[in-house]
Structure 1
Amino acid sequence: MSEVQILESVQIFLQRQHGHFIHGQHLEVDRQRLALINPATEQTVAHIAIGNQQDVDEAVESAQDAFINAWADTSPYERGQKLNKLADLIEFYAEELAQLETLTTGKLIHLARHLEVAQSVVFLRYFAGWATKVHGQTMQPSLPSMNGEKYTAYTIRQPVGVVAGIVPWNFSLMIGCWKIGSALTTGCTIVLKPSEFTTLSLLRVAELAIEAGIPKGVINVVTGTGETGQYLINSKHVKKISFTGSVPTGIAIAKQAMTNDLTRVSLELGGKNAAAILADANLDEILPNLLQATFVHQGQVCAAPERFFVHQSKYDEFTQKITAALQHFKIGSPLDESTMFGPLSNKAHFEKIKHFLDIAQQNDQIICGGRVIQGAGYFVEPTLLKVRDVDDPLFIEETFGPVVDVIPFESDEELISMMNHSRFGLTASIWSNDLSKALRLIPQIEAGSVWVNMHTFLDPAVPFGGVKASGLGREFSDAFIEDYTELKSVMIRY
């Protein structure tokens, strides 16, 4: 047992009377509060405020004021410098932030350290580098000259204004930093609404932003339930909504945004992601990487694969080897550095996964796993299911957890047909040493991202987003700039 000791600074932070973070300071709220539950123990670790209309209005007004009077007067170079300073501070307080994430999400401590916190730093620094590279173009119009006059034209990109960032519970810190980086780099300000299950790390980051020299009001955090988020997206000053979460909620937000004078919206939603294991794949070589990509954070990753398509010739070998591997996963406390598989992040999600496992049990679909682990905490076994065809309900609905399905295929045509038989299109992967075949399959796959011999992991230089019901817009690379700026055309006659 190698249980991590909770830092004194973390213990002190947990004991605070947590409120919202508005205009550079904590706003204490003395009314109904929500308990934050440690999913590994089911014990309350802290309480957060439930934001009402007044709280949200105050946060948005603070962001609007900062957009007009503070951040607008900050040069692109300074924006990048301040984002880099924030990244430095996140790196300095890395263990504190990692422990807050583990205590509220059940994320393994080494994953919180080396992925969540470390990649938050990487992404913020990447965004900071774009701050001085948001630019337009010059062009020569073809208007006819009647009396010797000439024309020239150019475009400029201007920040849209206040951004509403709606953040999910699985990677609250990292996804929150994606939204902060995108907004601040382009000159926007932001009001973040974290999930009610995982709030503390972003409240801490908002504090660190002030220490980094980011003006008051540029980053605000309001906490609470879905109703709090509804107040935020309906605010008249919000000009852009960036939402990461479930498909039903994303569609509802998009509909509302269209009625709110066509508020800009980008959606990074869920998926029933596919992994295709071709006939030539060496299972002993690919299995460690495939298992890591699939069951990282107990499968609670929007990009993780949930549907395995295995060539008929490899099907029996695949199911045998993955079963043997899953049976050796060490399940336990996420604060134990030797643990390989922790709890699900909250009770509501735990109940959802239990429902899927009950259906699989009733239909005799469980190849391995499938059990709820008795005792404290929201623990289930990593599970592999067999499905009869692509219309099986468990093959259609996203579980967003450690429940994956496997089905055989024989031809490339059958593979593509089955992979695309989904309303989702976020990610997919091909596992093969036949690069020629992989390159021919990639254009046929309906997904925003396709990996070869890897899956799930993201890089800030590579755009990310979904097709079909999996989303709208792209994160990262330089693609984010278009979503956070308005393109203005200027034409001059002289």
Structure 2
Amino acid sequence: MVEVSILPQVRDFMNRLNGQFINGKTVVSQQDEVITITNPATDEVIAHVATATSGDIDYAVDSAHRAFHGGWANVSPAQRGLLLNRLADLMIAHREELAQIETLTSGKLITLSRAFEVDYAVSFLRYYAGWTTRIEGKTVALSLPSANGEKYTGLTLREPLGVVAGIVPWNFSIMIAVWKFGSALACGCTAVIKPSEVTPLTMLRVAELVIEAGIPPGVLNVVNGPGQQVGHALTTHPKIAKVTFTGGMETGAIIGTAALQSGFKRVTLELGGKNAAGFLPDVSPEKTVEGIIEAGFLNSGQVCASAERYYVHRSLINNVAEQLGKRLATLTPGDPMDDESRFGPLANRSHFNKVIGYFTRARDQNLTFIHGGGAFDLPGCYIQPTAVLARSENDELMRQEVFGPVASLLAYDSVDELVTLMNDSPYGLAASLWTNNLSQALRLIPRVEAGTVWVNMHNYIDPAMPFGGTKGSGIGREFGSAFIDHFTEIKSVIMRY
């Protein structure tokens, strides 16, 4: 056991009343609504954050709007990249502080908070910084002939959209926020970020580092509160040019509709999924079990790209189920602030109750639990790592996104049936194929309906690779060069001479 000592600066940050970060300063308005922050590993109240008022929201958007047309507009692309890299340097310098704040509020293992919320986030930030000087238009050879000897020249410009509202979920509160504001700022936009009300603290600390990095006040602002209140106000605000959201499909539909109806705002929606992993018969039961653990149990299953549906050939499924049960029994719960812990709690009590509800209904439907199916007898939101043998593709656990450490296994008989089952979902974010036959994999990849298809791996993302979903898993792409299309507008220029 190697329990981490909480840093004094972390205690000081948690003990103060936080609120919003607007125009380079902390803002706490005089009002009664306060968000109570609870440590999901202990159920102890650890902090309070004031909810943004309508005046706070207007102030944040107005500050971002002024910065877009003022200070940030006058910063050169090369300087934008330098400032983003300075922020990345500061995040590394404050790595342990940020990781501890994240772990205390989300229950994420401290090792994951360091690796994903800081190290991965920094890698994405540096990637975006590298694009600032490579956003460009092109010259165009015009098609129509001259009428009286005149000539024409055509060119296109890439121009930033304006103020971007980023609505961030609770599972990766720094990393996903960086995906949104890093891409926006790289393109010359400014941003207002709304973290989840469950995990609002880490972005407030990052926003302070933004000012320390030399990024002008107003370029990045943070407002806190419930999605129905604060998120809706941002989505419908007349000075917001774009909304980028990561979260559930139903909420995404509401946000997308509201954005369209309030001025045809641009949207990027990454809406999670009920992701599938298909294991071909040539994969051994041992490797299948390791693949299931990799695909579904990172961060206690609270990853939007994680697999929840697992398809195993009928000749192997009983062997796989037996070995998987034994493997899951080794995933014992631990204190997220312990360096040696390997399995932590869910991020909040509301989500904990939702997952327990899935287990109750699965038992009512007489599904077979391979392992788990309940909570650990501990304080906090600790769910047992769980695996279920599904009866058919219509079982609730095969249709609804659980977003927890739950694997549902279903047998298949042929490769064509496997593809049909993997595609039988309203979602299409990610999928993985597991096989020793490269030819088979290459033939199957085009048939799988998902924005990302991994082969013999799962949950690997890289800033150079576009990420986003098909079908109900969203609209648009993040990362790669694709993000530029979603944070800039093309302007066509035609000149006659």
| Paired letter, 1:273 | N
Contact 1:199 1:223 in 2 (8 A): yes
TM-score, L = length of structure 1: 0.99
Other-structure match for 2:411: 408
User: Taking every aligned residue pair, what percent have the same amino acid on both sides?
Assistant: 49
**What is the alpha-carbon distance in structure 1 between the residues aligned to residue 169 and residue 54 of structure 2?**
21
- Provide the C-alpha distance between the structure 2 equivalents of 1:275 and 1:289, rounded to a whole number of angstroms: 9
State the Cα distance separating 1:360 from its structure 2 match: 1.8
**Residue in 1 aligned with 2:8?**
8
Instruction: Name 1:223's counterpart in structure 2.
Output: 224
Q: Matches of residues 276-295 of structure 1 in structure 2 within 5 Å?
A: 276-285=278-287, 287-295=289-297
2: CA distance, partners of 1:422 / 1:181: 32
Q: Contact 2:196/2:225 (CA < 8 Å) preserved in 1? A: yes
Contact preservation (8 Å) 2:322, 2:370: no
Preserved contact between residue 296 and residue 406 of structure 2 (Cα < 8 Å): no
Which of 430, 436, 439 pairs up with 2:439? 436
In the alignment, structure 1 residue 99 sits paired with structure 2 residue 100: yes
Q: Secondary structure at the match of 1:309?
A: strand
Structure-2 separation of matches of 1:80 and 1:192 = 20
What amino acid is aligned across from residue 312 of structure 2 in structure 1? V
- 1:286 Cα shift? 5.0
Secondary structure of residue in 2 paired with 1:73: coil
Letter in 1 for 2:407: V
SS at match of 1:424: coil
Deviation at 1:364, TM superposition (A): 3.0
User: Structure 2: how far apart are the matches of 1:50 and 1:394?
Assistant: 35
In structure 1, what is the Cα distance between the partners aligned to 2:397 and 2:307? Answer: 14
2:321 maps to what in 1? Answer: 319
By how many angstroms is 1:144 displaced? 1.5
Distance 1:455 1:290 in 2: 9
Secondary structure of the residue aligned to 1:145 is coil
TM-superposed deviation, 1:320: 1.3
> Which residue number corresponds to residue 241 of structure 1?
243
Q: Residue 189 of structure 1 contacts residue 219 of structure 1 at CA under 8 Å; is this kept in 2?
A: yes
| Higher alpha-carbon deviation: 113-122 or 152-161 | 113-122
CA distance in 1, matches of 2:460, 2:29: 38
What is the SS of the residue equivalent to 1:328?
coil
Measured against aligned partners, the alpha-carbon deviations of 1:320-344 in whole angstroms (never above 9, x if no partner) come to 1111110011212111122111111
Question: Is 1:474 the counterpart of 2:477 in the alignment?
Answer: yes
One-letter code of the match for 1:269? L
Q: Distance in 1 between matches of 2:54 and 2:291?
A: 46
Structure 1: gaps of 5 or more residues: none
Question: How many Å apart are 1:374 and its aligned residue?
Answer: 2.2
Deviation at 1:143, TM superposition (A): 2.0
Once residues 209 and 217 of structure 1 are traced to their aligned partners in structure 2, the CA distance between those partners, rounded to angstroms, is 10
Residue 258 of structure 1 aligns with which residue?
Answer: 260
- Name 1:30's counterpart in structure 2: 30
Once the two structures are superposed, the pairs formed by residues 172-251 of structure 1 within 5 Å of their partners are 172-226=173-227, 227-251=229-253
Higher mean C-alpha displacement, 359-368 vs 232-241:
359-368
Match of 1:369 in 2: 372
User: Which 4+ runs in 1 deviate beyond 3 A?
Assistant: 285-290
1:28 Cα deviation after fit: 1.7
- Is the 8 Å Cα contact of residues 293 and 457 (structure 1) preserved in structure 2? no
Distance 1:335 1:65 in 2: 41
Task: Map 1:45-444 to 2 at 5 A.
Answer: 45-226=46-227, 227-285=229-287, 287-365=289-367, 366-444=369-447
Distance 2:484 2:343 in 1: 37
Q: Deviations over 1:62-86 (max 9, x none)?
A: 0000000011100000000000000
The answer as to whether partners of 2:40 and 2:106 remain within 8 angstroms in 1 is: yes
Supply the RMSD in Å over aligned alpha carbons. Answer: 1.0
Distance 2:18 2:324 in 1: 44
In 2, distance between residues paired with 1:52 and 1:210?
23
Q: Structure 1: how far apart are the matches of 2:290 and 2:5?
A: 30
Given that residues 29 and 53 in structure 2 are in contact (C-alpha distance below 8 angstroms), is that contact kept between their aligned partners in structure 1?
no
Partner of 1:455: 458
Partner SS, residue 486 of structure 1:
strand
Task: Indicate the SS of the match to 2:35.
Answer: strand
Displacement, 1:421? 0.8
CA offset at residue 289 of structure 1? 4.6
Where 1:172 maps in the other structure, the secondary structure is coil
SS at match of 2:492: strand
Partners of 1:52 and 1:234 in 2: CA distance: 15
Equivalence for 1:483: 486
Answer whether contact 1:275 1:431 (CA < 8 A) is retained.
yes
Deviation of 1:282 (Å): 2.8
1:216 & 1:313 partners in 2: Cα distance? 62
Q: Residues 431 and 454 of structure 1 are in contact (CA less than 8 Å); yes or no, is this contact kept in structure 2?
A: yes
1:46, 1:457 → 2: CA distance? 33
Counterpart residue identity of residue 191, structure 1: V
In the alignment, residue 14 of structure 1 is paired with which amino acid?
Answer: M
| 1:111 Cα deviation after fit | 0.7
Separation (CA, whole Å) in 1 of partners of 2:436 and 2:117? 31
Q: Is the 8 A contact 1:143 1:151 kept in 2?
A: no
Counterpart-to-counterpart distance in 1, 2:454 and 2:75 = 39
Q: Secondary structure at the match of 1:308?
A: strand
Letter in 1 for 2:261: T
1:115/1:288 CA distance change after superposition, 3 Å: farther
| Residue identity in the other structure for 1:376 | P
> 3-state SS of the aligned residue for 2:370?
strand
Deviation by residue 1:173-211 (Cα, 9 ceiling, x = unmatched) = 000011111100000000000000001110001000001
Counterpart secondary structure, 1:415: helix
Equivalent residue letter for 2:216: P
TM-fit CA distance, 1:52: 2.0
- Structure 2, unmatched stretches of 5+, are none
In 2: Cα distance, 1:196 partner to 1:147 partner: 64
Q: Distance in 1 between matches of 2:363 and 2:377?
A: 17
Structure 1 position 362, deviation (Å): 2.4
Query: Residue type of the partner of 1:349?
Result: H
Letter in 2 for 1:171: F
The amino acid of 1:339's aligned partner reads S
Counterpart CA distance in 1 for 2:131 and 2:223 is 27
